[in-house]
Structure formats: C-alpha cells, structure tokens
C-alpha cells in the first residue's frame, strides 16, 4: 500500500482503530455473520500496543489518525480523492 501511494504521489494515511477492549469484544460478540474467537481478538488488542505513531511514521505513513471512541468511529468519513483518470489504475 505504501509503495502504491508513493508511486502515485498520494499521501499515505494510517487509520488505527484503537478502541476500548470492552467495545471491541461487545461488537465482535454481536456480529451477525461470524464471531471471531475471543482469544484471537484479545491477541490482536495486545499487539495493538506496539503500533505506535512513531512506528507508523517510520514505516512511511505521512499522517496517523487514531479512532479511540465509538463517537470517533461514527464520525469517520473516508473519501477517495483520486482523479477519475487514476481510479482504474492497479
């Protein structure tokens, strides 16, 4: 993804879903199709502590945004700003 962003002159933005564990577990339990086993979710949550803003910046992300609350998540809007001529590019 970072390589593609650089190749197209795009800004790479990391959006980190850093939500409270209770919220993550509750949402997972309420999934209608497939619930991820709780130990797997807890492992992912534990691994999230190593995903720091400086690490993501060092990887090449120009901007790091963290979503920490349910209200933040509800407010997230992602818009594709690619010009029409680039939408079909691989």
Please name the residue that has the structure tokens 């963290």: 66
Residue 52: the pLDDT is 95
Q: Is the pTM of this model over 0.85?
A: no
Q: What sections of the chain are H helices per DSSP? A: 2-7, 21-29, 38-47, 53-59, 70-75
In the chain, where are the structural domains located?
Answer: 2-78
* Tens place of pLDDT per residue across the chain (90 aa): 899 988 988 899 999 999 999 999 999 999 999 999 999 999 999 999 999 999 999 999 999 999 999 899 889 888 876 655 554 555
Q: Please give the class, per CATH, of domain 2-78.
A: alpha beta
Residue 38: the pLDDT is 97
């Amino acid at each position: 993804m970072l390589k593609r962003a650089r190749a197209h002159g795009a800004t790479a933005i990391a959006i980190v879903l850093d939500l409270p564990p209770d919220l993550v577990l509750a949402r997972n339990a309420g999934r209608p199709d497939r619930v991820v086993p709780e130990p797997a979710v807890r492992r992912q949550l534990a691994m999230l502590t190593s995903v720091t803003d400086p690490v993501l910046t060092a990887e090449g992300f120009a901007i790091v945004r963290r979503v920490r609350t349910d209200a933040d998540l509800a407010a997230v809007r992602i818009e594709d700003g690619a010009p029409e001529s680039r939408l079909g590019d691989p």
